[in-house]
Amino acid sequence: MRKFIITLILLLIIPSAIHAEEDLQSIIIEVEGDPSEHKEYIEAYHPFIEVVAVYDTLFNGLALQGSPANLEKMESLEFIKSIHTVQQYEALEWSSATQRYGSFSWNSANSEIEQAIQPNDINTTQYTGKGVKVGVIDTGIDYEHPDLKNNYQSGYDLVDLDDDPMESLPEQGVPTSHGTHVAGIIAADGDIKGVAPDAQIYSYRALGPGGAGTSVQVIAAMEKAIEDEVDVINLSLGNNVNVPDYPTSMAVNRASEMGITVVIANGNSGPDDWTVGSPATADQALSVGASTMPMQVPFLYDTLEDKSIQLSEMIGSPPWEIIRSNQLIEAEAGTDVSLSGKIALIQRGRIPFYELAKTAEEKGAIAAVIYNNEDGPFQGSVDNEKDPLNIPVATVSKEDGEWLKTQASKQPFYIETSYLDQGSTTAPFSSRGPVTVNWNIKPDVLAPGTAIWSTVPGGYQQMDGTSMAAPHVTGAVALIKEAHPEWTREQIIGALKTTADHLKEQDASIPTIQGMGEIQPKAAIDTATIIHNPQLNLGMVDNYREELRYELEIENMTGESQTYSFTYPKKKKGLSWDIPASFTLEANEKRSIPITLNVTTTRLEEGVHQDWLTLNQEGQKYHLPYIFVNQHADQPKTAGFEFTLKGFSDDVYHYSIYTTEPARRMEVDLYNPESLQFERKLLESEELETGLHEGEITKKEAGKSGYYLAIVTVYLEDGSYETNQSLIYIE
């Protein structure tokens, strides 16, 4: 029987955006058939409804405005597939990125903030993104910010359906600043400089108060960006649905086919595998993970036992700068013990991290170490703007914490702090691949995503997240576009991937953690070679022995011939490579190079296998990640369970869920979220194929109102089963 972890989620109900003076509400509807014909029908038979926009490029739909009473009549129209009202906010899985240092006034933009990264630091080129049009689909933008107002061109608000994409204000709900921070990383041009400070910014507000919205709002924003003929789109947003064919992922692929480079944050749900979410799962997306800056990593060192324990500093904590040996003492929550001059060792529990650390500080501790109460590492925050901590706080694993506890219980236990110089690596929070179903390697590349200093409404701020990494890549695309206006989307993306810096840190050595590595804009602009498809997805093997083939597409960007050779991979049981020893590309030649991997399945463990091939060219090494699946992948079997009232309906619920493998049966059971006592069965389905499954049930069938922990159980064809959970509300 598989175990499942129960997490309680706080639901935020955000009021609809209503124009009080006109009593108007905005909605977007998805329709069957020709949306232009439906526009004519609505204008003829519903004269009090205004058709604000028609969408027919990435999806079929209409944007409407009207009074709630008139809009409610839309429910009866047979051609409507779904209705997306402003009330139906769903929290997206991008991180608003902890504000470690708060906001600052205009004149403090150049003040020295410890460890802060300026976006323009990665631009070592002569280019500035001049003439390149960048679409930012996000929470809007403070287009009056002095560092952004000259680069802002225009935009659109897909939440309120007007041409004012300003960030959400307090009177509208939970205010936002995310889009302004993202835009500043790309093209700030004032007291701070973005990666491409002369790029033109087009802003599309698809995420409303609190930084959330529907997938249809995001797709509609992409349509607006295409209509404005942008060159590159930045999407620092996403969800936790790890499937390749989610609607936003398919829209990204269609936009890419139209020649637009779409850059997407990989997500902040790391460090586990399979955590990348849509739309970063799209085949054609340039998906971006977050890298850390080079740093000194603190670790505890016991000289007697010759044991080292690496510390992971908590978000919002002062830096760990202890330089001598100190006594470490257990500080169990609720006990009265003096911690004066000591390091407090605390087990993770129900009490918030900040409160645990604050109590230790008040008792005189000079630092706090919080260890996990379950296996594995963990991340946490002790951020508190009103009363920030003055002592450093770090986390360690359960195993390391229990070892420290044992040592501290025997006698006065003193331990040193040492420091390890660590180069750039993947940030722990950065989501990992692969993508379920097709096993694509994601992220594609990494970019700086920790301690990024950029614009926010009213000033500047430091934030973390893949949301901050993606706009670094978007800015880099603008630089390449200016340098090589004749290059195609495929060449731009290929150049960034080909020249990315392969990270050799042990925790980043797996392809689905770093992709091709950290971007190098200047190297991409100057590259002599472009490998168009350097991430080798070799597929799945089912038979005893199978031959996997891949065509590696390489382009010589110079006017002279170039010779390449592979470093033959180390021999591994069950694997045999057939790759050319060397080959030559003539001037400006583009060619497919065949690569074959012979796999004997019985000599390999089942599951995902990934590693690197090395291609050499005159001293230059290109590290090419490969991935294949032996018989089965230990991927999540379901993704994205949603359960909401159908648009404008009081008594019908709509549900949807993805299955990543065929299943015999799926059940959804409801539990009391506090007592965990079983309440009732909500849904049951038989014989599910891979893909999206959706349906409707009445309020009567749903049962008694309230919050419930929905446990989704999928029974697979091989007899195994998997469970996961989400919190739902039945009105």
Write out pLDDT tens, residues 20-61.
445 677 778 888 999 999 999 999 999 999 998 888 888 788
Task: Give the pLDDT confidence score for residue 189 in this predicted structure.
Answer: 97
Per-residue confidence band for 3, with pLDDT thresholds at 50, 70 and 90 = very low
φ, ψ for residue 250, nearest 5 deg? -65, -35
φ, ψ for residue 525, nearest 5 deg? -65, -40
Least confident segment among 1-10, 473-482, 548-557: 1-10
CATH 2.60.40.2550 domain range(s) in the chain: 638-730
Which of 274-288, 320-334, 646-660 shows the highest mean pLDDT?
274-288
φ, ψ for residue 686, nearest 5 deg? -115, 150
Question: Using CA atoms, how far apart are residues 467 and 96, in angstroms rounded to an integer?
Answer: 8
Least confident segment among 379-383, 439-443, 664-668, 697-701: 379-383
How many helices (H) and strands (E) are present in the chain, helices listed first?
Answer: 12, 38
**pTM for this prediction:** 0.82
CATH 2.60.40.10 domain range(s) in the chain: 528-630
Strands of 93-231, DSSP E: 133-138, 152-157, 200-205
φ, ψ for residue 617, nearest 5 deg? -155, 105
Task: Name the residue type at position 146.
Answer: P
CB 543 within 8 A of CB 602: no
Task: Give the pLDDT confidence score for residue 505 in this predicted structure.
Answer: 67
- Closest Cα to residue 628, out of 426, 430, 434, 432? 434
Identify the residue whose tokens are 């990989």.
266
- Closest Cα to residue 521, out of 431, 424, 445, 468? 445
Checking if the pLDDT of 507 tops 90, the result is no
Burial of 318 (0-12, 13-18, 19+ CB in 10 A): middle
Q: Which residue has the higher pLDDT, 657 or 624?
A: 624
Task: Name the residue type at position 675.
Answer: S
List Cα–Cα distances, 722 to 162, 665, 686, 714, in angstroms.
45, 11, 15, 5
Average pLDDT for residues 327-344, to the nearest whole number? 86
Other CB atoms within a 10 A radius of the CB of residue 75 amount to: 13
CATH 3.40.50.200 domain range(s) in the chain: 117-293+427-483
Question: Using CA atoms, how far apart are residues 405 and 568, in angstroms rounded to an integer?
Answer: 48
CB 151 within 8 A of CB 164: no
Per-residue confidence band for 67, with pLDDT thresholds at 50, 70 and 90 = confident
Checking if the pLDDT of 526 tops 60, the result is yes
Per-residue confidence band for 485, with pLDDT thresholds at 50, 70 and 90 = very high
Task: Give the pLDDT confidence score for residue 23 in this predicted structure.
Answer: 66
Per-residue confidence band for 68, with pLDDT thresholds at 50, 70 and 90 = confident
Task: Give the pLDDT confidence score for residue 13 in this predicted structure.
Answer: 26
Fold assignment, 18-85: Alpha-Beta Plaits (3.30.70)
287: tokens are: 């998906």
What sign does the CA torsion over 169, 171, 173, 174 have?
A: positive
Question: Using CA atoms, how far apart are residues 318 and 313, in angstroms rounded to an integer?
Answer: 9
576: tokens are: 């045999």
Question: Using CA atoms, how far apart are residues 284 and 489, in angstroms rounded to an integer?
Answer: 10
Question: Using CA atoms, how far apart are residues 168 and 452, in angstroms rounded to an integer?
Answer: 22
Checking if the pLDDT of 336 tops 80, the result is no
- Closest Cα to residue 246, out of 9, 75, 59? 59
Helical spans, DSSP H, in 432-549: 466-483, 489-498, 511-514, 521-526
Least confident segment among 127-131, 209-213, 326-330, 686-690: 209-213
CB 295 within 8 A of CB 320: no
Q: Which residue has the higher pLDDT, 149 or 6?
A: 149
102 alpha-carbon distance from chain centroid? 23
- Closest Cα to residue 510, out of 448, 436, 425, 618? 425
Q: Which residue has the higher pLDDT, 217 or 624?
A: 624
What sign does the CA torsion over 40, 45, 50, 56 have?
A: negative
Which CATH code is given to the segment(s) 296-420?
3.50.30.30
Task: Give the pLDDT confidence score for residue 592 in this predicted structure.
Answer: 97
List Cα–Cα distances, 157 to 17, 297, 570, in angstroms.
12, 43, 54
Least confident segment among 49-63, 72-86, 465-479: 72-86
Per-residue confidence band for 104, with pLDDT thresholds at 50, 70 and 90 = very low
Tell me the average pLDDT of the chain: 86
CB 503 within 8 A of CB 291: yes
Which of 294-308, 467-481, 564-578 shows the highest mean pLDDT?
467-481
Which CATH code is given to the segment(s) 117-293+427-483?
3.40.50.200
Report the CATH architecture of 528-630: Sandwich (2.60)
Average pLDDT for residues 700-711, to the nearest whole number? 90
CATH 3.30.70.80 domain range(s) in the chain: 18-85
Fold assignment, 638-730: Immunoglobulin-like (2.60.40)
Least confident segment among 46-50, 241-245, 568-572: 241-245
